[in-house]
């Protein structure tokens, strides 16, 4: 019986979740939950990394208070962000938040020195202004003295692993989000950094998911595993697919990450034109995917309404969306990257595109969920083109899989069978990759068999109403016209 402790840190909150693997089934329990709120100053938007580190230590303490003595600990987080260590191993400054404004314009500044085509050929990664490459280039321009002090660069889960063990290593799934990692060679694209005048010598040796890093400094009998450190990689590993190539996944949360699991990267002109990404998965797999803004828009609307004194739960918002007028407005979810007054931003977008803005909070919620489903359909069509296969099943995992209204919209908009859950896929994948590292499981097939035995998914089929299907078709044509225009 293996016992493992997973720390899953997302953009809104973090959790410590225990997992016990016994006779081929997994039982999990949430031990500790904590908010993840950035620090905002006049100069920067940063992560409160010391507080998060304190919450991790608190989670370990709670586990032991409850008599849970893990054989392993693993940490997964969001991608791209990083910390810099000086020669003594001390963190130089709080890591910047990927939504920090200093990233604006950095892609264009990089392309002035290295072409977009060359960057993609070396990395196979989707172009987004917050990728680590552009953050690091921004640092070289804005705070060159700080960067010059750096002895090591560690992405966020690797930073916590370093504090737990003293071992500075870069786990491959999180490294692959940086846009200076080559998924073909499975190593750093240091030539790209050299061309940009960035310090490749600060990068750490790369290790694969499931690698045992060593014992914790505080708990000499507990191993720390470099699990799939990118939360999406952990979530995809726990998708309960049962073989065959006809499925895709959506890791649904603040971000939606939609893609295929492949044996090798797809790096070519078509992938570049469609702006897809090749990130590393578990067991040598490649995650060919697209980053989509996800439930971020709904979260930001909820935050804005809360500031006005109206506090909705996410369950309320889903019910409101279900009852609202359908297809009132279409929006591009990827047009809203920066925080702040999301309802006003949606209003401005609608007016710019010749539409009436939503009239009620319910219509905002419905428009967001509908347009996520329409965006998924658009990405699905591109995945079928790039993967050369017809997709019959969409596995939706992660916290967003609890949104039954969105799941139904996805089935209706795409005409595909949807399998929702597990909602805790990220923590489950984290735990089971640790178990792979410990030798309890061998390969993704065994891992996913444990998931299917342990957690009941929710099947969702498209509604059989011909009028509703026709309405979705018209909405999709309208969506494509607005987005392309």
Tens-digit pLDDT string for the chain (485 aa): 899 999 999 988 999 999 999 999 999 999 999 999 999 988 899 999 999 999 999 999 999 999 999 999 999 999 999 999 999 999 999 999 999 999 999 999 999 999 999 999 999 999 999 999 999 999 999 999 999 999 999 999 999 999 999 999 999 999 999 999 999 999 999 999 999 999 999 999 999 999 999 999 877 789 999 999 999 999 999 999 997 889 999 999 989 999 999 999 999 999 999 999 999 999 999 999 999 999 999 999 999 999 999 999 999 999 999 999 999 999 999 999 888 899 999 999 999 999 999 999 999 999 999 999 999 999 999 999 999 999 999 999 999 999 999 999 999 999 999 999 999 999 999 999 999 999 999 999 999 999 999 999 999 999 999 999 999 999 999 999 999 86
Element (H, E) at 175: helix 172-175
Claim to verify: residue 92 and residue 224 sit in the same structural domain = yes
Catalytically annotated residues: 231
Shared domain check, 244 and 193: no
Q: Own/partner pairs for 463-472, CB < 8 Å, 24+ apart?
A: 463/408, 463/411, 463/412, 468/412, 469/412, 469/415, 471/326, 471/327, 472/412, 472/413
Is 435 within a domain?
Answer: no
Q: Is residue 447 part of a domain?
A: no
Residue 35 lies in a domain: yes
Instruction: Quote the pLDDT of residue 339.
Output: 83
- Asked if the structure places residue 189 within a domain, the reply is yes
- Number of domains into which the chain is organized: 2
Q: Are 6 and 19 in contact (CB under 8 A)?
A: yes
Predicted local confidence at residue 485, as pLDDT: 66
* Rama region for 373: left / alpha / beta (φ>0; ψ in -120 to 50; rest): alpha
Write down which residue in 230, 252, 286 finishes a domain: 230
Domain limits at 174?
2-230
**Domain co-membership, 160 together with 245:** no
- How much is the pTM? 0.94
Return the CATH number at 225.
Answer: 3.30.420.40
What gap in Å lies between CA 122 and CA 184, rounded to an integer?
Answer: 9
Task: Look at residue 5 in the predicted model and tell me its pLDDT.
Answer: 98
CA–CA separation, 460 and 446 (whole Å): 25
Residues 221, 326: one domain? no
Strand positions, DSSP E, 363-448: 393-397, 417-420
With respect to residue 437, please indicate whether it lies within any of the assigned structural domains: no
pLDDT at 356: 97
| Same domain? 307 vs 169 | no
Catalogue the long-range contacts made by 338-342 (C-beta closer than 8 Å, 24 or more residues apart): 338/99, 338/101, 339/99, 339/300, 340/300, 341/304, 342/297, 342/300, 342/301, 342/303, 342/304
| CB 133 within 8 Å of CB 86 | no
The domain boundary residue, chosen from 230, 255, 288: 230
140 neighbors 147 (Cβ within 8 angstroms):
yes
* Per-residue pLDDT at 338: 81
Residue 433 lies in a domain: no
Q: Domain check: are 202 and 248 in the same one?
A: no
Rounded Cα distance between 70 and 452, Å, is 23
Q: Assess whether 72 and 211 both reside in one domain.
A: yes
The residue among 176, 83, 210 whose CA lies nearest residue 136 is 83
Residue 436 lies in a domain: no
Query: Do 294 and 373 share a domain, yes or no?
Result: yes
pLDDT computed for residue 398 by the predictor: 94
How many CA atoms within 13 Å lie on the side-chain side of 416? 24
3-state secondary structure of 225: strand
Claim to verify: residue 349 and residue 366 sit in the same structural domain? yes
Q: Are residues 23 and 108 in the same domain?
A: yes
Q: What is the pLDDT of residue 484?
A: 86
Please check whether residue 439 lies inside any domain of the structure. no
Q: Are residues 201 and 263 in the same domain?
A: no
Which pLDDT does position 258 carry in this prediction?
98
pLDDT at 195: 98
Which of 114, 119, 7, 155 has the alpha carbon at shortest distance from 70? Answer: 7
* Same-domain check for residues 214 and 334: no
Can you tell me the distance from the alpha carbon of 67 to that of 20, in angstroms, rounded to the nearest whole number?
A: 13
Instruction: Examine the fold and report which residue of 230, 248, 265 is the final residue of a domain before the chain moves on.
Output: 230
């Amino acid at each position: 019986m293996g016992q493992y402790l997973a720390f899953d840190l997302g953009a809104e909150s973090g959790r410590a979740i225990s997992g016990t693997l016994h006779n081929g089934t997994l039982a999990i329990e949430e031990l500790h939950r904590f908010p993840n709120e950035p620090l905002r100053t006049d100069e920067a938007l940063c992560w409160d990394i010391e507080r998060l580190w304190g919450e991790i230590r608190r989670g370990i303490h709670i586990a032991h208070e409850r008599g849970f003595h893990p054989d392993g600990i693993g940490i997964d987080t969001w991608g791209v962000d990083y910390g810099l260590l000086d020669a003594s191993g001390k963190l130089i400054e709080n890591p910047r938040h990927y939504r920090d404004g200093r990233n604006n314009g950095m892609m264009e500044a990089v392309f002035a020195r290295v072409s977009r085509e060359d960057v993609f050929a070396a990395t196979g990664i989707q172009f987004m202004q917050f990728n680590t490459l552009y953050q690091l280039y921004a640092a070289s321009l804005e705070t060159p003295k700080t960067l010059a002090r750096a002895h090591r660069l560690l992405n966020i889960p690797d930073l916590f692993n370093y504090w737990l063990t003293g071992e500075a290593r870069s786990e491959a799934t999180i490294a692959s989000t940086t846009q200076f990692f080559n998924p073909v060679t499975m190593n750093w694209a240091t030539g790209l950094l050299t061309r940009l005048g960035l310090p490749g010598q600060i990068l750490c040796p790369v290790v694969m998911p499931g690698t045992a890093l060593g014992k914790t400094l505080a708990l000499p009998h507990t191993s720390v595993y470099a699990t799939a450190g990118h939360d999406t990689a952990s979530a995809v590993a726990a998708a309960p697919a049962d073989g065959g190539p006809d499925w895709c996944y959506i890791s649904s949360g603040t971000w939606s990450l939609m893609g295929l699991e492949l044996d090798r990267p797809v790096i070519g002109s078509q992938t570049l034109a469609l702006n897809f990404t090749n990130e590393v998965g578990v067991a040598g797999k490649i995650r060919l995917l697209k980053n989509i803004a996800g439930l971020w828009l709904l979260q930001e609307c909820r935050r804005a309404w809360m500031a006005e004194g109206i506090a909705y739960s996410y369950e309320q918002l889903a019910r409101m969306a279900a009852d609202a007028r359908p297809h009132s407005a279409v929006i591009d979810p990827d047009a809203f990257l920066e925080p702040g007054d999301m309802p006003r931003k949606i209003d401005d977008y609608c007016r710019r595109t010749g539409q009436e803005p939503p009239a009620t909070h319910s219509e905002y919620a419905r428009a967001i969920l509908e347009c996520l489903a329409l965006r998924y359909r658009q990405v699905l069509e591109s995945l079928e083109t790039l993967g050369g296969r017809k997709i019959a099943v969409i596995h939706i995992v992660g916290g967003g899989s609890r949104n039954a209204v969105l799941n139904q919209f996805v089935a209706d908009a795409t005409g595909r069978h949807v399998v929702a859950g597990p909602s805790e896929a990220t923590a489950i994948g984290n735990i089971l990759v640790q178990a792979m590292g410990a030798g309890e499981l061998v390969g993704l097939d065994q891992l996913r068999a444990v998931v299917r035995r342990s957690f009941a998914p929710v099947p969702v089929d498209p509604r059989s109403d011909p009028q509703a299907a026709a309405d979705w078709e018209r909405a999709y044509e309208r969506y494509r016209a607005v987005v392309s225009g």
